[in-house]
Amino acid sequence: MMGQQPIIQTIDVRKIYGMGEISVAALDGVSIIIEGGEFVAIMGPSGSGKSTLMNILGCLDRPTDGRYILDSLDVSEMDRVQLAHIRNNRIGFIFQSYNLLSRTSALKNVMVPLLYSRNNKRSAEERAVVAREVLEAVGLGNRLNHQPQELSGGEQQRVAIARALVNNPLLILADEPTGNLDTRSGDEIMELLHELHQNGRTIVMVTHDPEIAAHTQRTIHLRDGQIERVVQNGSGPTAKENQGVRHESH
Amino acid sequence: MNLTELLLLAWESISSSKMRSLLTMLGIIIGVASVIIMVSISSGTEASIEEQITGLGSNLVYVTTSFSRGGAREGMGMPSGGLVYEDAFAIAEEVNGVAAVVVEQSSSETVKAGNVILEGVTILGTTADFPSVRDMEIDEGRYFNQREVDRTQKVVVLGSALAEELFGDADPIGQTVTVDTTKLTVIGVFAERGMVSGVDFDSQLYIPISVVFQKFTPSQFARFIGDRVRVIYVEIESPEVMESVIQQISFLLAKRHDVSLEEADFNVTTQQDIIQTQEATTAAFRNLLAWVAGVSLIVGGIGIMNIMLVSVTERTREIGIRQSVGATPDDIRWQFLTEAVLLSLGGGFIGVLAGVSGSWIFGYVSDMRTVIVFSSILLAFTSAAVVGIFFGFYPANKAAQLDPIEALRHE
């Protein structure tokens, strides 16, 4: 490989559930490369394996077979503890249902990843300062002490984005980030993601909505655990493409 | 995460559902409080027993009848063996190192004074040395002397509580008390003495022992073997002669009763023996209580485990969220373990407060004395912590082993 290493490289990744005759391959040989600074969508019908791929990319799960290299680190053989460290300092999650801690203020929610950080020990005060900065950056400077149930869906998702950003991750994984939101809030969240992308963040987003996917540079379509096709979505720096995929103009 | 962070996290979780936390702690609170209260009651009992026995005077030897052993008089149609009144005089005259000898013979009778009638009052027949040997003080009037005992004089000395019951505020001296059908003249009242070895000295009535033999416990055999007595108190001159006195009494009585020492129809015991017996009894009692309290601590621990298991299930999603942002299994384990230990220690602390104040209140409102033992506080508190760790570990482990994907999907 030449020049800069890709952020994500999966080589023939398989995920097989069950054993023997009744085993099901949720992922059946997926090889993708995502470069730093890319904004990529993963699309597919339910059962296509996009959630499984997302979990593996997010180091919540390990492939049964194949390799996953994240930022030059082979994470496919790591144990639970190592994976937790990777999730903590290299990955930021944004979930469809926000997944904020209830009865916990926005500020404290954003501080949670800092609490589990190993390589960057901060005092409680320092954590609060960092979390506040990130919350201000996503436009929630005036909602620091609000608990999730006191916030709108869009605001909750902003808190979640702030939490994903607080450890300055290498990769942001968004799982249907607008799925629970009305159109307007959804647009605002997409704008925010665009902004992050503009600032050089690498974002991988799972969605079933073609309109949302169109916001990204590239859409990877999955079907039956395999890559069906990869679509370039208009402008933006061209990404390295995978072998054996068709191109479609939008 | 460091300890401060863990404690803070646990505190936030505990304080966010105060009622449930309190209910969780309740088992531990009750366990710890009962350990402290029970130990304080048994120690109080022990202390007062010991104090009262010692209060009798430390140089006492007790000679008691032992009916379980046969005697030479058996088969003559008379009760076999046992102490008789004359044994007391023999001891007083023939044993060296004896300061005083007191005999007691009791009976339960109906007592009348004016229009006050009391049933089942203990009549204690005794001799002239009784007040000095049993450490009783005369409050009013006087005690009877040996001459009055020998002549079967119908005089009576009242316990302080009994005097109050019979005569109220009136002066009892010179008044008449009717016991069964016998009229007795009050010549004195004892000062308050309290309970001694389970006997209320203040509610008794004291008369010459000869009157008791004659009127209340007459025996057809008295003419042949003498008046039988339950116990002879022997006060010795000094602790050094204790062994010698015990030996002399044993030989003397064996000779008088015509029995060998092995099959003696009497026991010679000292205060020390009695204290030891009492201590053994209270120790057994205290051990039993400690076991009961220990069981309640374990039940409290199971309560904590129960709630923590529910809590792990309820907070599965929270665990998933924490895992997704980088919490390791150890982070999760410590979080829940800290919570369980904090709950136990909190329960332990409240339990100590409840136990100490409970013991104090119990001692204040009841007749029983309570002594708060510091080691019991330490023991109860430590057990609470151990219980918390022990019963907190399983739920914490369960939480730590949750799969992050499953946990995130949990509703």
Across the interface, whether the CB atoms of B322 and A93 are under 8 A apart is answered no
Across the interface, whether the CB atoms of B324 and A61 are under 8 A apart is answered no
* Residue with tokens 């205060």, as numbered in its chain: B271
What pLDDT score was predicted for residue B223? 64
- Express each pLDDT in B339-360 by its tens digit: 999 999 999 999 999 999 999 9
Structure tokens given for B202: 């203040």
Helices then strands, each counted (H, E), chain A? 7, 11
Across the interface, whether the CB atoms of B326 and A84 are under 8 A apart is answered yes
Q: What does the pLDDT average to over B244-268?
A: 85
Which residue of chain A comes nearest to B326, CA vs CA?
Answer: A88
Q: H-type helices in B212-270, by residue range? A: 222-225, 242-257
In the sheet where A91-94 sits, what is the strand order? A91-94, A171-175, A202-206, A39-43, A218-223, A226-232
Q: What does the pLDDT average to over B247-270?
A: 84
B362: confidence class by pLDDT, cuts 50, 70, 90: confident
- Give yes or no for a contact between A216 and A232, defined as CB atoms under 8 angstroms apart: no
Q: H-type helices in B315-328, by residue range? A: 316-324
Rounded to the nearest angstrom, the minimum Cα separation between A186 and chain B is 22
Comparing A216-230, B4-18, B54-68, B156-170, the range with the smallest average pLDDT is: B54-68
What pLDDT score was predicted for residue A120? 72
- Express each pLDDT in A93-130 by its tens digit: 999 999 999 889 999 999 999 999 887 778 888 999 99
Better-predicted residue by pLDDT, B221 or B236: B236
What pLDDT score was predicted for residue A130? 94
What pLDDT score was predicted for residue B55? 63
* Cβ-based neighbour number of residue B379 at 10 Å: 18
What pLDDT score was predicted for residue A190? 94
Across the interface, whether the CB atoms of A58 and B324 are under 8 A apart is answered yes
Rounded to the nearest angstrom, the minimum Cα separation between B29 and chain A is 28
Nearest to A116 among B16, B326, B405 (CB): B326
User: Is residue A67 in some structural domain?
Assistant: yes
What pLDDT score was predicted for residue B85? 85
Rounded to the nearest angstrom, the minimum Cα separation between B300 and chain A is 28
Nearest to A116 among B12, B16, B327 (CB): B327
Average pLDDT of chain A? 88
User: Is residue A245 in some structural domain?
Assistant: no
What pLDDT score was predicted for residue B81? 65
Q: CA angle at residue A123 from A118 to A129, to 5 degrees?
A: 105
What pLDDT score was predicted for residue A61? 92
Nearest to A93 among B1, B324, B329 (CB): B324
Comparing A242-246, B81-85, B95-99, B175-179, the range with the smallest average pLDDT is: A242-246
Across the interface, whether the CB atoms of B326 and A103 are under 8 A apart is answered no
B74: confidence class by pLDDT, cuts 50, 70, 90: very low
User: Is residue A187 in some structural domain?
Assistant: yes
CA distances from B275 to A4, B38, B98, B211, B231 (A): 90, 21, 22, 32, 17
Q: What does the pLDDT average to over B315-322?
A: 94
Q: Which of B52-56, B171-175, B316-320 has the highest mean pLDDT?
A: B316-320
Question: How far apart are alpha carbons B19 and A105 in whole angstroms?
Answer: 21
Portion of chain A with pLDDT greater than 70, in percent: 92
- Give yes or no for a contact between A121 and B4, defined as CB atoms under 8 angstroms apart: no
What pLDDT score was predicted for residue B34? 86
Rounded to the nearest angstrom, the minimum Cα separation between B33 and chain A is 33
User: Is residue A139 in some structural domain?
Assistant: no
B70: confidence class by pLDDT, cuts 50, 70, 90: very low
Across the interface, whether the CB atoms of B324 and A60 are under 8 A apart is answered yes
What pLDDT score was predicted for residue B72? 46
Taking contacts as CB-CB distances below 8 angstroms, the residues of chain A near B325 are 87-88, 93, 112-113, 116, 163
Better-predicted residue by pLDDT, A235 or B293: B293
Average pLDDT of chain B? 84
Structure tokens given for A180: 């629970």
B276: confidence class by pLDDT, cuts 50, 70, 90: confident
Question: How far apart are alpha carbons A238 and A217 in whole angstroms?
Answer: 8
What pLDDT score was predicted for residue B225? 66
What pLDDT score was predicted for residue A236? 45
> How does A177-192 read in b/e, with b if 16+ C-beta sit within 10 Å?
bbbbbeeebbebbbeb
Which residue of chain A comes nearest to B2, CA vs CA?
Answer: A115
Nearest to A61 among B318, B326, B405 (CB): B405
Q: Answer whether B401 touches A (CB < 8 Å).
A: no
Comparing A59-68, A206-215, B270-279, the range with the smallest average pLDDT is: B270-279
B220: confidence class by pLDDT, cuts 50, 70, 90: low
Nearest to A84 among B12, B317, B323 (CB): B323
**pLDDT of B78 over the 60 cut:** no
B295: confidence class by pLDDT, cuts 50, 70, 90: confident
Nearest to B405 among A60, A81, A116 (CB): A60
- Express each pLDDT in A20-43 by its tens digit: 788 888 999 999 999 999 999 999
Domain range holding A223? Answer: 8-100+150-232
Q: What does the pLDDT average to over B194-222?
A: 80
Across the interface, whether the CB atoms of A116 and B321 are under 8 A apart is answered no
User: Is residue A25 in some structural domain?
Assistant: yes
- Decide: helix, strand or coil at residue B68: coil
Q: φ, ψ for residue B72 (rounded to 5)? A: -70, -25
Which residue of chain A comes nearest to B16, CA vs CA?
Answer: A103
The closest alpha carbon to A136, from A169, A166, A177, belongs to A166
B169: confidence class by pLDDT, cuts 50, 70, 90: confident
Nearest to A113 among B317, B325, B328 (CB): B325
Which CATH number covers residue A80? Answer: 3.40.50.300
Taking contacts as CB-CB distances below 8 angstroms, the residues of chain B near A55 are 405
Q: Answer whether B171 touches A (CB < 8 Å).
A: no
**pLDDT of B53 over the 70 cut:** no
User: Is residue A144 in some structural domain?
Assistant: no
Estimate to the nearest angstrom the gap between the alpha carbon of B135 and the chain centroid: 21
Taking contacts as CB-CB distances below 8 angstroms, the residues of chain B near A100 are 321
**pLDDT of A244 over the 50 cut:** no
Q: φ, ψ for residue B244 (rounded to 5)? A: -65, -40
Comparing A29-33, B90-94, B368-372, the range with the smallest average pLDDT is: B368-372
User: Is residue A105 in some structural domain?
Assistant: no
Portion of chain B with pLDDT greater than 70, in percent: 92
Taking only residues 318 to 347 of chain B, the set having a beta carbon closer than 8 angstroms to any beta carbon of chain A reads 318, 320-331
**Interface residue ranges in chain A relative to chain B, Cβ cutoff 8 Å:** 55, 58, 60-61, 80-81, 84-85, 87-89, 93, 95, 99-104, 112-113, 115-117, 124, 163, 167
Q: What does the pLDDT average to over B254-276?
A: 80
Number of structural domains found in chain A:
1
> How does A139-171 read in b/e, with b if 16+ C-beta sit within 10 Å?
ebeebbebbbeebebbbbbbbbbbbbbbbebbb
- Rounded to a whole number of angstroms, the CA Rg of chain B reads 33
**pLDDT of B3 over the 80 cut:** yes
Across the interface, whether the CB atoms of A58 and B322 are under 8 A apart is answered no
User: Is residue A120 in some structural domain?
Assistant: no
B221: confidence class by pLDDT, cuts 50, 70, 90: low
**pLDDT of A245 over the 50 cut:** no
- Give yes or no for a contact between B253 and B264, defined as CB atoms under 8 angstroms apart: yes
A249: confidence class by pLDDT, cuts 50, 70, 90: very low
Q: What does the pLDDT average to over B317-338?
A: 94
What pLDDT score was predicted for residue A248? 42
What pLDDT score was predicted for residue A29? 92
